[in-house]
Structure 1
Amino acid sequence: MSSPIPGVVAWAVIGYLAVGLSGWLWLVRGTDVDRFDNRMGRLVIHMGLWCIVALLMYRCASTPTIDDPANQLALGCVLMTTTYLYSIGRLISADSVPETVWRNQRNAGLVALAATASIVLTAAAVRYSGRTVDLRLARDGLGIGCAFAVPLTYNTFVFARGCLGAFRDIDTPRAARIVSFGMIGSIAIIWGAQALSLSQLTTGWPDGPPLSLVPAAFTLFVALGSTLLAVPLVAELMLRAGMDRATRTYRRLLPLWRDLTAAVPEIVMPVDTRYGSDPATRLLRMTVEIRDAMLHLGAYLPAESDATQRNTVRKPESNRAITDYAHRLIRAAQARKAGLPPAGTGAPPPLPMGAHDFDTELAHLIDLARIWPQAKAAVE
């Protein structure tokens, strides 16, 4: 084989990509994803398959020149890969209606097929005349170069623009922003290879067959892209293993929730089967139910001591204030479960500090849950 990429590296990248595609296939078919994610996943899977075919074609080439049909077909596979980048770029930048994504992909694929046919037919005509294809600024070489470079540049530009928009969007999750930034970097590899190829055509630098830059850059692009696309797979695996942030927080609040809802069982909401398994939805539901239970138990809270009131005014987030509140809340839950009448102290704030947003309230509940077992043992 005459590929500029060592066999051990090429086969390692092919295997790495194959494993990643298997994970994406499981992610699309085995998880509850919405239509947008399903389209995105299928585009990624199809693009990965074309990447594998392109890498295999490069392994089949007997010479590093465009005269080898394997290299010609490999260029076509690279172009087909970029058509999926084009569709993904339009999808994430909302340039097209999601329902038309496959129609747009089909149109881009036809352009890639036409460009591939132009490369193959031009090379065949030159070979039939007994010459070799000259990739310098000559008629045949210029035609082949434009047939490959123009659609590739346009498709990757649309994709990079979509990634840049997602990276700039403050609502984009951190993991998605990392992937977007990394994919822009991987596209820069392809653009750098194109710039070097143009330099070879015009100045002869760097030395070597001009076509050797393409498989090297493409292999590096596939390796980096496969690594970045593994981020959603890792996130899904963590979700399945219960290691995601929402599930960990849910487990920390579970003892607190059990004790409070046991005292006020009527506030427990029925589980929505459509969203009941989503960790973020379960955590939000638990937080609401804990807050409702606290409100119902407000009338059963024993009065605060003067010392605790002074401590709360000076340092409202102190452990002493939260501990004292936990003791009072446990006594209130015990009183309600025992059927005792309300303490008659009114309904003070459910926590000894205010919370103006969900994250702040959740942090306060986590603090309360942290000391809940010790407070429960002290009261009982």
Structure 2
Amino acid sequence: MNSPVPALLAVPVIVFAVAVALGRFALLSSTAIDRLLNRTLAWTALSLVLLERGFAPRFGSLLHQLSMGATMLAIASLYGAAMRWAGADPRLATRRQHYFDLAAAGSVLLILIIGTPYRRAGTLLGQDSSWQEFVVSAVMWIPLIAVGTLVWRVGLRELRGGDVTRYERIVFSALLATPFIAGAGLLSSIARHTGHWQADDPHLTRWAAPNFGTVFVLAAMLAVPLAELLSARTGWDRTGRHCRRLRPLWRDLTAAVPEIVLPATGSVPPDARLFRMTVEIRDALMQLQRYLPVDHATEVGPPSSARYARQLRQAIAAKRNGGAPSTAPHVAGRFGAPSSDIDSDIRRLLDLARAWNNAKRPRRQRV
């Protein structure tokens, strides 16, 4: 009894789903929705492993029925997550989740009872158009249709809300597409029961292929917040990259003007760290403005990043050597003046940080 999906396609999907599930269990389990989604992904990954019956062909019939049972347990968890997502009362949702889990466990027992003759014969439940297949199809597809309807309603509501980020739009669009992927197995079962499709399918690929496609889409969606969390913790997200690029400039400026450094208390989140660095760099620039060279005041137009970086180094050297600050009124200039747009401030300071780092690099001497 062979597996329904080639190992070349099945193994990467299984490994990906298992890796995402383990990562989410370790790092993303703070909310009830996250925990339910983690359970969903874990049960669906197990169902794919059990569908790959090649590692124990002698027990292929049992593994196939257990795979169906794992799918039912995944449906119960997904339905609970969708209900909470739809705005259900948390206390009521928690109580109902116990009923969903009990119903899923009962359906697993029913599948095993109905599938007893098939296990004894060593065949797969669903290979023929028997009443047993009809009952099992109803037990599986009625909850799936309920979940798909709820997911559709919530996804459409969020997409019509207007205040949706690009990532959220991608997630909601993928959620709306998932029921169509999963529904391929239902359509094939209906066509088989009504006599419109009599193709030979001994390995039940018509059920397995949509399962693999659905689980891959689900794992890909749930991997995005995990990847964002990992990139933030390792400093490779957008905020972390900005902090790393600003750090040499921030370190030199705060060393020159240590009195502007804000007091630190405990660990600072990346977004707060970037905002704090931006404020401290601007404050340092305002303080060093009085030590800029005299020709700075006679320049026409805003200075370039490279020229301002050179002048800023002269200002730091003048302050360090005890030079007297200018008493004339000074203008904040392009880099020191805050604006109402924090992103514009960060872009300007990143340009200055790039020029600052380039000025520190020794120039190659021509031979």
Distance change >3 Å, CA 325–CA 23, structure 1 → 2: same
Partner of 2:246: 253
Among residues 266, 270, 278, which one is paired with 1:279 in the alignment? 270
TM-score when normalising by structure 1 = 0.75
Partner of 1:326: 309
Distance change >3 Å, CA 165–CA 302, structure 1 → 2: farther
Partner of 1:111: 103
Residue 357 (1) aligns with residue 354 (2) = no
Letter in 1 for 2:194: T
Letter in 2 for 1:219: F
Q: Is the 8 A contact 1:2 1:63 kept in 2?
A: no
Inter-partner Cα distance in structure 2 for 1:185 and 1:272 = 46
Q: Is the 8 A contact 1:179 1:231 kept in 2?
A: no
Among residues 193, 196, 201, which one is paired with 2:188 in the alignment? 196
Distance change >3 Å, CA 343–CA 95, structure 1 → 2: same
- Post-superposition CA distance 1:281-309 (Å, at most 9, x none): 21111111112222333444455657632
Q: Is the 8 A contact 1:295 1:347 kept in 2?
A: no
Distance change >3 Å, CA 237–CA 266, structure 1 → 2: same
| 3-state SS, counterpart of residue 48 of structure 2 | helix
Q: How many residues align?
A: 353
Q: Is the 8 A contact 2:181 2:214 kept in 1?
A: yes
Inter-partner Cα distance in structure 1 for 2:275 and 2:5 = 51
Letter in 2 for 1:199: A
Inter-partner Cα distance in structure 2 for 1:127 and 1:51 = 22
Among residues 337, 343, 351, which one is paired with 2:326 in the alignment? 343
- Post-superposition CA distance 1:77-110 (Å, at most 9, x none): 212112222233334x351355666444323222
Partner of 2:76: 83
Partner of 1:49: 42
Partner of 2:285: 294
Partner of 1:268: 261
Among residues 176, 184, 197, which one is paired with 1:205 in the alignment? 197
Distance change >3 Å, CA 63–CA 25, structure 1 → 2: closer
Determine what percentage of the aligned residue pairs are the same residue.
30
Distance change >3 Å, CA 254–CA 110, structure 1 → 2: same
Partner of 1:21: 21
Once the 2 structures are TM-superposed, how far is the Cα of residue 228 of structure 1 from its aligned partner?
4.0
Inter-partner Cα distance in structure 1 for 2:107 and 2:226 = 34
Q: Is the 8 A contact 1:85 1:159 kept in 2?
A: no
Summarize the alignment of residues 23-38 of structure 1 with structure 2, pairs less than 5 Å apart.
23-28=23-28, 35-36=30-31
- Post-superposition CA distance 1:134-157 (Å, at most 9, x none): 975x87655443222111111233
Inter-partner Cα distance in structure 1 for 2:206 and 2:59 = 14
Structure 1 residues without counterparts, runs of 5 or longer:
313-319
Among residues 201, 214, 217, which one is paired with 1:221 in the alignment? 214
Partner of 1:157: 149
Inter-partner Cα distance in structure 2 for 1:374 and 1:20 = 40
Partner of 2:140: 148
Letter in 1 for 2:71: V
- Post-superposition CA distance 1:311-370 (Å, at most 9, x none): 34xxxxxxx444444344444444444454431222412426873301111001111111
User: Relative to structure 2, which stretch is displaced further, 258-267 or 359-368?
Assistant: 258-267
Partner of 1:316: none
Inter-partner Cα distance in structure 2 for 1:87 and 1:77 = 16
Distance change >3 Å, CA 350–CA 63, structure 1 → 2: same
Q: Is the 8 A contact 1:298 1:346 kept in 2?
A: no
Two-structure CA RMSD over aligned residues (Å):
3.9
Distance change >3 Å, CA 259–CA 70, structure 1 → 2: closer
Inter-partner Cα distance in structure 1 for 2:230 and 2:126 = 49
Partner of 2:353: 369
Q: Is the 8 A contact 1:87 1:105 kept in 2?
A: yes
Q: Is the 8 A contact 2:183 2:210 kept in 1?
A: no
Structure 2 residues without counterparts, runs of 5 or longer:
363-367
Q: Is the 8 A contact 1:89 1:159 kept in 2?
A: yes
TM-score when normalising by structure 2 = 0.77
